[in-house]
Every structure is written in C-alpha cells, then in structure tokens.
Structure 1
C-alpha cells in the first residue's frame, strides 16, 4: 500500500495536491468500510432464519379425496402445487432465466455486473443528461419530499437485506432447487 501511495505522489511537491489525494483515499476506504459494516450489521438484524427460508408459508390448494384416493376437488385462494425441478418444462426454465436473470447460473446470489450497470445508468447518466432525482429543496422540505427520501432509504436497506437472503439461499440450495421454489 505504501508503494502505491509513493507512486501516486511521485513527481509532485505541491502539498495541496498531496492533501487532496490523501483525503480522496480516506473517503474511498471509509465508504468501503462503512458499506461493509452496514452489510454485516444487516446480516445479523431481523432477517428470516434458515428454517423459515426452508419452510416458507405458502398458500397451497386443499384437496378433497374420495375413499378410493381419487381427488374430488380442490379449494384454494391461490392454486399452488409444490413441484420438483424435474417436473418443470425446460422451456419454462429457459423462459424464466431469459426474462429474469440471464446470468443466473453464473453468479452466487448477487449479480455485481448488473449492479454496476444499474448504478452507472441511474447515477452517472442521469447527471450527464441533466436529470435530477430531487426537485425540491432540502431546507423546509414538504412532507412528500421527506417521505420520498425516507422511502428511498428504506428501499436501499430492503435491497441489502434481499442480497443477504439471496446469498444464504445460494449457499443452502442448488440453482435448480431455487428455480423449483419460484
């Protein structure tokens, strides 16, 4: 690390330049450390346990059987029937992967390439095009603006929790088992 810092500062004697570079590195490492702490803090927060993930409560159809074992009828709000991956049509699996996550079999719960693309498009391109996320001043916000800001914060925390759960599921189940549970 020291060699990298020496390399970046070689050839410059301007103390203001050196100070700016040092502060930039502190911000980068501080942001990274804060993100790691937030991620680990959320992983120990109010998330579903592995047992709850293994046994989700889903509304399955109730079946009424005759004495001979024949199904007489089904009663349901949502007509759900548990299936194994082998029972799924390969076309259904291909359609799910093509529409939802093309790199499904190539990542372990979090698609960092897609995440980078989303961050690039939402942050950098909107600024370049002159679009702003907030149209109201932050001082004297209306309740709507405050609510919108808090909703964005909640969405970020929710997304982090989803990532943690996705990683847990990827460790516990195969990709095919996860597809069968959808």
Structure 2
C-alpha cells in the first residue's frame, strides 16, 4: 500500500475514496498534532511536500542534505528521493556534465558562502543553498569540456572536475582562492 496521500496529478486524495489509507492514517493520532495538520484541519493527513510521481522514472542528480563536501550522485531513474535527499532533473542538461560542475570546488564554494556550517564541519545542502549555485549555459560548454566534466564526475575526481569547471566558468582558480 502506498501511504502517500497524493494522486498522480499532484492533488490531495480524499480519504473517503481510499478507506484503507483512511484506516491506516486514523490509527496514527500523532499525525493530527503536526503543525501542518493544525494549520489545515480538513486535510490533516497531508504531507509537507507533495510526492511528484513523474520524477520516479526520470534520471536525477541526488544530493544528500548534510555532508562536509558536495557529492552529487546520478540516479538513472526508478527511485523516488525523500528524507533529506535533494534532487535535480533537467531537460536541458546532460546530468553527468552538470554533475561534474557540482562535484567541483567551485560549487562547494557557492554552498559554503550561503550555508551554515554545523558541528564537525557539516554543511547543509538544502534547496535554498543549492539554488544559489550559478552554472554556465549548457549550450556554451563545448564537447571537449563536456567530456572532461563527465569523466571527472564518473571518476569522482574533484580536482579534474574543478579544473574543467574553472574553464566552463571562465575563471582563474588562483584568483578565486580555489586552487589546492
């Protein structure tokens, strides 16, 4: 049984149409104590985030919320990310090229500039910080550079990703204090 209260079109289901789901949710009285349930008592069973069913089969880059370093991972489709796992989908980007840019110290610097560093050096890679990462236009990245970013991403090579990303951004790593 799917315990998500969202239909495929993104609307909230009526529990009267799903008696087993209604029974399941009703057995968990703590659901009614949540802030979102008290805010809208008629739809007390709704989750904060909608489940977007169309994302399941799409390839996506996954980013774990709490890490010391950015670590994009390609998920080829078939899974739904949730619980502190952020995802990026795109019709325009080759996700391995974008993954190479995100693996770089340049993307790391964007997140470090905006995110709060927690105990132990952990950063939060939440949506509001990930949206601050600026990337070049994918059409402006040539085939050779795209291939370099892909290879770096596949090999998990941060140095190669950073070097290729610097070319894509047109920046000098020394000038931006990003050279190791």
By the TM > 0.5 criterion, same fold? no
Query: Higher relative contact order by CA 8 Å / sep ≥ 6: 1 or 2?
Result: 1
- TM-score (structure 1 length as normaliser): 0.21
Rg larger for: 1
Greater helix share, structure number: 1
